[in-house]
Amino acid sequence: MKKVIVFLFLVSSSLLIAQSTDETSEKNVKTEVYIGLGASVQSKFSLNDKLKAAGTAELNETTPELLIGFNVFGSKFSGDAEFGFAASENDLGNTENRNIAFTSRLRVHYNLINKEKVAFTGGINLSATSSEVDIFTKNNAIDLNNLAGLTSNHVSLKNQMFYVGPSVSLYLLKHKKSSIRANFGYELAFTNGKWKSDFATVNNTVKENGNNRFVFGISLL
């Protein structure tokens, strides 16, 4: 996954710098660092089938996301390189889970409408997501004087996914010092996303390939 993330940002840097260089002569290139809020809506998690069968809390399929990135906007093309952080938790009875995900994302768009105050762009969205899930029972107790008798009521799992899909962006208040951008995308899950663990061998694991997601976000540029 680290290699995928590095690859994504090397590609994003090359594309955005090339775009900026090509359009600098027109003096229409605008670069900005931005922050924003978004959400990811998963079609499903295969892991939830296992959790449901065990009577434990299932993963939330809609998760909020904190966004930070670098945006480039030229006369014909635009794009951005973005980091996203998402966290959610869910409980059922005496069980609970926590899901933390880190996403690196690259967008390359063509400016379909580019006016003084508003713009509408469309293109491709590439992203890589690394997730860590903890599943545990509540009210656990740890006796530091009896660690030899420690029993585990905690499962830690992780997976990595790579997504590709179409996306569009709407820019508002472009003529102002601070503008607003809304992004909408549909990401197709390509890698198998097999659930693994750093602490144990996972038998009868499941894969998340084919479980696509809808993503959106609103950013302040």
The domain total for the chain is 1
Give the alpha-carbon dihedral of 145, 147, 153, 155, to 10 degrees.
130
Q: How far apart are CA 210 and CA 189, in angstroms?
A: 5
* Per-residue model confidence (pLDDT) at position 11: 53
**Count, residues in the chain:** 221
CATH code at position 96: 2.40.160.20
Domain annotation covers residue 51:
yes
Domain annotation covers residue 9:
yes
Q: How far apart are CA 116 and CA 172, in angstroms?
A: 10
* Per-residue model confidence (pLDDT) at position 7: 52
| Location of structure tokens 């990135």 | 69
Tell me the β-bridge partners of 77.
110
First to last CA, the chain: 29
Q: What is the DSSP string of 163-194?
A: EEEEEEEEEE-TTSSS-EEEEEEEEEE-S---
* Per-residue model confidence (pLDDT) at position 212: 95
Domain annotation covers residue 106:
yes
Domain annotation covers residue 148:
no
* Per-residue model confidence (pLDDT) at position 13: 52
* Per-residue model confidence (pLDDT) at position 24: 46
Q: What angle do CA 218, 80, 10 make, to 5 degrees?
A: 145
pLDDT, averaged in runs of 10, over the chain (221 residues): 52 52 59 94 93 91 95 92 94 91 95 93 95 87 72 85 96 88 95 90 91 95 89
* Per-residue model confidence (pLDDT) at position 16: 53
* Per-residue model confidence (pLDDT) at position 25: 46
What residues make up the domain containing 126?
A: 2-138+153-220
* Per-residue model confidence (pLDDT) at position 140: 76
Domain annotation covers residue 145:
no
| Location of structure tokens 């449901």 | 52
* Per-residue model confidence (pLDDT) at position 150: 64
Domain annotation covers residue 87:
yes
Tell me the β-bridge partners of 96.
91, 136
